[in-house]
Copies of this chain bind each other. A is one copy, B any other.
Amino acid sequence: MTITPIEPGSTLGILGGGQLARMLSLAASRLGLKTHIYAPEADQPAFDVTPYHTIGAYEDEAALSAFSEKVAAVTYEFENIPVSCAEIVARKTLLRPGVEALRKTQDRLIEKEWIASLGLPVAPYARVDSVTDLQLALSGIGAPSILKTRRFGYDGKGQFKLSSAADSDAAWAALNGYPSILEGFVPFSCEVSVVVARGADGAFAPFALCCNEHADHILSITHAPANLAASLQDQAFAMAKTIGDALNYVGVFAVEMFVISKGGTDHLVINEIAPRVHNSGHWTMDGAVTSQFEQHIRAVCGWPLGSAELLGTCEMHNLIGAQASDWQHILSNPQAHLHLYGKADIRAGRKMGHVNFVRPL
């Protein structure tokens, strides 16, 4: 297969205008590309780093077509772009990663079934469309377990943790009767993720396995590399490669996993896949030879991937809500790498920025 690379000077389209689109655009600019952002709302963080944007609904076929005609290729910053939107774009221009990655990941049930079908380990799960389904699922999976909406959940939204079968009615009510799945609670020793890039030529470049700490269901701190056996990282890379190859994926994606300690050995269970650059990969901006954002742009352009090598022992701290007010204190540490997303309003739970620390290996 011959891959025609996109030329520097071309314009890349990005669906979504949040901080991930912003950082993708900055990486693209460094490489001599232009970017055009497509997002449904005004005042998006990515609108401040390029002169080119379209405000349009993800359902607006005319606006999406016009956007697609202006760009050499399109990518997306998150997995909740409607499949119909991706299909419109893919008919007009090159969409990387493709429609299939969205289809497989934006519905938790489809995602679980698909991961399991690849022979990869997932937590026990069951489809729940009614409170009766939920009670049945609980009798199989048991408690504690977590009821999650199949679609549009993130950062702990659309989830309810059940301590016993007695919580069924409350759980079903809390999720407003949306199609859901019940997932068995995995007694993990830690949460890890692997962020990897796959090139248009099938090249595979994984960043170091990293370990994630959450607070209020939102990523708080990432440590890279994870302080775990090398064999576990090898397992994680192999799983990610299986997933990437199965999708013929082009770009960066993340696989979130739980580490389970059983009988003295650790093994991995996949939690979910994010078909995009990922918060747990932000440490690569200062801690890897090539950042996840540059890797994604290289892949989307059909260019060779850069080195994913680690530059040191890295820690990424998210700045959530009012934590961003601390910018002066952060800047007073000359080793701290501050990244702010240009969001005007500080709101509780809102990702405002992050700080990276890198200590030489």
For this complex, into which size category does the number of interface residues on chain A fall?
35 or more
Interface string of A221-242 (1 = CB under 8 A from B): 0000000000000000000000
Check A334 against B30 for contact (C-beta < 8 Å). Answer: no
Q: How far is the CB of A12 from chain B (nearest CB, A)?
A: 12
Check A342 against B26 for contact (C-beta < 8 Å). Answer: no
For A29, give the chain B residue with the smallest CB separation: B49
> Which residue in B34, B51, B303, B331 is a CB contact (below 8 Å) of A50?
B51
Interface string of A294-306 (1 = CB under 8 A from B): 0000100001111
In residues 162-208 of chain A, which contact B (Cβ within 8 Å)? Answer: none
In residues 272-301 of chain A, which contact B (Cβ within 8 Å)? Answer: 289-290, 298
For A48, give the chain B residue with the smallest CB separation: B34
For A11, give the chain B residue with the smallest CB separation: B48
Interface string of A326-361 (1 = CB under 8 A from B): 011001101111111110100000000100000000
Check A8 against B327 for contact (C-beta < 8 Å). Answer: yes
Interface string of A39-59 (1 = CB under 8 A from B): 000000001111101000000
Given A307-B335, A334-B305, decide whether A328 and B5 contact each other with a Cβ distance below 8 A.
yes
In whole angstroms, how far apart are the Cα atoms of A32 and B26 in the complex?
12
A33 within 8 A of B: yes
Check B51 against A334 for contact (C-beta < 8 Å). Answer: no
A62 within 8 A of B: no
Show the binding face of A for B, using Cβ within 8 Å.
5, 8-9, 22, 26, 29-34, 47-51, 53, 289-290, 298, 303-307, 311, 324, 327-328, 331-332, 334-342, 344, 353
Q: 10 closest Cβ contacts across the A-B interface? A: A32-B340, A307-B334, A51-B51, A32-B342, A29-B49, A8-B340, A304-B332, A303-B331, A306-B334, A304-B331
Further contacts, 4 of them, CB under 8 A, given A9-B342, A26-B30, A306-B334? A5-B328, A26-B49, A31-B340, A306-B331
22 pairs, A vs B, C-beta closer than 8 Å: A5-B328, A8-B342, A9-B342, A9-B344, A22-B29, A26-B26, A26-B29, A30-B340, A31-B339, A32-B340, A34-B48, A34-B342, A48-B50, A50-B51, A51-B51, A289-B337, A304-B332, A304-B334, A305-B334, A306-B331, A306-B335, A307-B335
